[in-house]
Structures are given as structure tokens and as C-alpha cells.
Chains A and B, each alone.
Chain A
Amino acid sequence: MSDTATPEQTAEIDDQSKRDFLFVSTASVAAVGTALAAWPFIDQMNPAADTLALSTTEVDLEPIEEGQSITVVWRGKPVFIRHRTAKEISEASAVKSADLIDPEGDAERVQKPQWLIMVGVCTHLGCIPLGQKSGESKGDFGGWFCPCHGSHYDTSGRIRKGPAPKNLAVPEYSFLSESKVKIG
């Protein structure tokens, strides 16, 4: 009996790798399970079904005269709709892309040149630029001007001067008829 190992020593030597495997696999299952269980608690913060359901807006363009702008609410944000004049269109399309901070041709930003439709939220930190109403500052480029940190947008809603990194966003929209547009 003297050459027989004690039970403790046997346990340590023989099944160490089995114990390691059990330890690692148990811990992995626990970690993955915890991560999966955490997801609902994170995802609940994303927009709920009823919030998503309100995500399109239809607008009648009939009453908007040339040179006029209206602001409609879409997803809780203002959307600027401007019936542009011929002068504004030609100004916007004459700009060279080298002069732009976020190069984008005017034609890429509109479906019909006279209707400029874009989200009226400054791409810097989310303020509403001025320039929709007559008498408001339109900035150095005749478009919009954000009073918060001084970003200037042109008649195509492109950023020309100031801290904003991007042009005013163009939302997804489609013309339902000649004078009706669905945003979203």
C-alpha cells in the first residue's frame, strides 16, 4: 500500500485538464448567457414600435409659392421644404465642388430642382438653423445660418463655413403626385 498515491494526489494529477475544461466552458456559458440577457435591457432604449409607426409625413406642396419655405415636423424634427427660385437653383448648381466642405452636387440633393427638401437640423450639434422666415438671417451664402455656433449653409443646404461637418441631411422622400410628397 505504501506505493499507492493518496486519493488527493490522484485527483490533482489525473483530471486537471477535465476540471479546466469544465471551468472554462461553465464560465463561457455564463458569460454568453449574461450578454444575451443584457441585450433586451439595452435594446429597450431604442425607438419603440409606436415611435417607429409615426415615422412618415405627407405634405401638400400646392400652397407654397416660389421663394417660400415651410417647416413640417417629421420624426419630431423640423423638415425644411423650400420652393426655390431660378436664381437660387442656378447659384446652387454653379458652385465648384472644390469650394465645398462636404462636396455634393446640387442635382444629387434634389429630385425636382425647384423643391429642396431637407432635415432642418444643423449637423454640428443639432440646433435649428435660421433662414426659413423672411427677415431671418440667411448667412453669407443666402441659404441658412445656425445661430448656435455660426454655421453657414448655401441655397442647396450645403455647409460652406463654420464648425458643422456635413451638409443638411436630405431625408428619404417620394413624390406621390405633382404636388404631394411623402417624407420617410
Chain B
Amino acid sequence: MDTNNMHPVMKWVEHRLPVFSFLDHSLGTQYPTPKNLNYWWNFGSLAGLVLVIMIVSGIVLAMHYTAHVDYAFNSVERIMRDVNYGWLIRYIHMNGGSMFFIAVYIHMFRGLYFGSYQAPRELLWIIGVFILLAMMATAFMGYVLPWGQMSFWGATVITNLFSAIPLVGDSIVTLLWGGFSVDNPTLNRFFSLHFLLPFVIVGLVVVHIWALHVHGSNNPTGIDVKSEQDTVGFHPYFTVKDFFGMGVFMIFYMFFVFYAPNFFGEPDNYIPANPLVTPPHIVPEWYFLPYYAILRAFTGDFFVYQIVSLGGLLMDAKLAGVLAMFASILLLLFMPWLDGSKVRSCSFRPIMAMAFWIFFLDCLVLGYIGGKPAEGIYITIGQFATFYYFAHLLVIVPLVSRLERPKQLPDSINASVLKAAE
């Protein structure tokens, strides 16, 4: 960085802590970025924006919240009714959770479509999966804090998942609860961890961006940057584009905050927690519905269960469902190796592109089924969609990626941009 034109104060700082050249190389004119990035590349910075909003609104809410079973529900209602702008801050935080998952899911599907997980960005992708897991844990524990009926019963159902583990399952559940049921000790530790985990996410995001900056962003063609002609400086081109995206996204976000603040929520969570009455339909938040559908798909007669458990010998259906639910996310860690194609972007892999969209629809179907009661046709559809989810990752992706002959790639990013302009 040219320090000669700097303000003397900046120059003084730069000499002792090179923060200005660091920024310039991270987000500035000196960070070369493929010039053909489309709008799907906005969702990383959008997720980062929501993370900051969640931390700021969360710290403020913690100033008014009481983590005790006798007071938690009322302290949240007090935030809604009495605390100055408390309603606004809570609705920002509540809907922020949904916005975070919307941004991250789009970010992930973008990565899947354009092959962003492929070499040399495998670790970048893997760190991203860990961010998703940390987000899920944070969101789950945050949902428990208002201590409504869904908080309590969601916590009960999810912590009980661990009881499926052979031999030590029940001891683990007691350890998680700090008692014999979800109770005050559980609420206290969830609050503590809900406060901690966002900062763990920040740490993971730093590593994620660090890994990103080693090889730079992937791009819609999926081909490597070959010359300076392929890139532009991150600033001002992508700072401006990211800010524009943030503006649009904030309109979408604030629409829910101001006009439909409980759209993503469950009315049952405005009933105080009652350990003796289970609500008729326990449903998780929308962003967990696909996994919940996979969990419930595993009944004794599900053919996939019959196969993986060797006809019921290896494990019961409950354990199989729990393992499948975790596997549905952990399998993503292996995407860089499940996909054996030498071409990244699905723009040049028509069969893979089709498989991608079917997989996308399958995830939506799983989400829909997860929100429905487990009866009749919903069970059959859920089981088929679960089967397809794993078939896509374990069979279709490995085979199609190795057998499909990709279309001709452009010579360079620059060439593809010029061709598109013609």
C-alpha cells in the first residue's frame, strides 16, 4: 500500500499496526475478485450482516431477560410490553434467526450448484458446514429461552434424541438436563451456551474468510482466475454490490419485523411452558423441518431402515432416525469427494444441474412434510423424500459427476464475460 499519500495519523498507525493495508488486501482494491460474480454471491456477506445484527440485538435482550423457569416467560413479555423498543429488538432477533438461515441456505445451495466446495476450497466448505452446525445449536437453544410450550417441548424432544445412543444415552440426557427432565438447570445452561456460541460462530467465520482469501471466490463459470483481466478489485465493485444487496435484503427482513413478526413462529410458544401437557403438534422452527422429516421417516417398516439395520438387528428405528438426521448434515462434509467431476459449475454439467434442482425440490418437500403430522400419505412421501435425499448424495452425485461429459468451458472468465456482452 502506498503510505506516502496517507494522513500523518494513519501513517503513524500503519507503521505500528498495518491495519490499513490489511483491510486493503482483505476487502479493498488489492483483493482481486472474479468480475463475473452474480447475485447469488451476495448471500455470504448477507449472512455476516445478520450475524452482527443477531449479536447486537441479543446482547441487548440479555440485559432484560431472566433465565429462570418462574420468570423467563414473563421477562420476555416484559421486554415486549414495558422495555423501551423491546418489542422491536425482540422481533428483530426472532426474525433474524429465520433470516440467518435463509441467507445461509441460499449461500449453501449456491455453493452446491457452482461447485464451490471443490479443490482447492474443500476446507472452506467444511468450515462452512461447521458454521451451520453451530448455528443450529445456537438457534435451538435460543428458541428454548422464552420458555413457552414449544420451547419446552422442543427442548424435550431434541434432548431425548440422545437417549437413542446405546448404553450411555440416558446418562448423556441426564447430563444435558442437569436433572431428570428439562427444568431450571437446563434453561440456565442453554442461556449460557446461547450467549457463547455466536462468538464461536464469529471465530469460525474468521477462519472461513481466511480460507476464502487464500484462493479467492469461486465464480459462476467455475474456472480458475488466469489473469488480471479476469478480476476487479473488491473495492469499490463488490463493496457497492454487497451494500446494494444488503439494502434489498433489509427491506425483506424488515417487512417481517414490522408487518408479520410472528409469521415464522408458532402460536403455542405464547403459552407458558407446562411440563404436564404436550401440545398436539410439536413442530420445530421451519429451518429444522427437513431434518425433522428425516428423523420421523425412520419407522420399523421403512425399507431404508430395514436395509441399514439388517432387518432390525443392528439398531432400533429410533436410533436409525437419529443417526440419519445427523448424517444428512455430516454427509455434506464429504461433498468435495462425493463429486468427482473436474468441472465445478453446473452451468456446464446439464445432468448434474437437473439433479441439483431435483435435490433442491426434495429438500423443500422434506421441509413441507416435517411440518405435517406423521400420518397417512405424509409418512409415505416423507420416507420417499428421505430415501431420495441420501440417494442423491451417495449415488447420484458420485455417479453423475464421474460419468457426465461436461460442455466446453470458456477460455477464461474474461472471455465468458465478453461473450455474454455480445
Contact = CB atoms under 8 A, between A and B. Distances in A.
Interface in B55-112: none
A127 B281 CA distance: 10
Nearest to A78: B276
Contact of B276 (A47, A48, A71, A146): A71
B36 interface: no
The CB with the most chain B CB atoms within 10 A, among A71, A125, A165, is that of A125
Given A125-B156, A163-B318, A165-B316, A45 B180 contact: no
A75 B181 contact: yes
A163 B180 CA distance: 23
B157 A127 contact: yes
Given A76-B179, A78-B275, A148-B278, A47 B174 contact: yes
Interface in A42-82: 42, 45-48, 51, 55, 71, 73, 75-78
Interface in A123-145: 124-128
B181 A45 contact: no
Range for the number of chain B residues in contact with chain A: 35 or more
Nearest to B153: A127
Interface in B166-188: 174-183, 185
Given A47-B180, A51-B179, A76-B180, A147 B156 contact: no
A182 interface: no
B160 A126 contact: yes
Contacts of A47: 174, 177-180, 185
A23 to B, nearest CB: 30
Contact of B181 (A76, A125, A150): A76
B275 A51 contact: no
Contacts of A180: none
A19 interface: no
16 contacts: A45-B175, A45-B189, A46-B175, A73-B276, A76-B179, A76-B182, A76-B275, A78-B275, A124-B160, A124-B318, A125-B157, A127-B156, A128-B276, A148-B282, A163-B300, A163-B317
What are the 10 closest A-B residue pairs judged by CB atoms, nearest first? A75-B180, A76-B181, A126-B160, A127-B278, A125-B157, A128-B278, A126-B156, A165-B316, A125-B160, A51-B179
Interface of A: 42, 45-48, 51, 55, 71, 73, 75-78, 124-128, 146-150, 163-165
Interface of B: 153, 156-157, 159-161, 174-183, 185, 189, 275-278, 280-282, 296, 298-300, 316-318, 321, 374-375
Given A51-B179, A125-B160, 18 more contacts: A45-B175, A47-B178, A51-B183, A55-B180, A73-B275, A73-B276, A75-B180, A75-B181, A76-B182, A76-B183, A78-B275, A78-B276, A124-B318, A125-B161, A126-B160, A128-B277, A147-B280, A165-B318
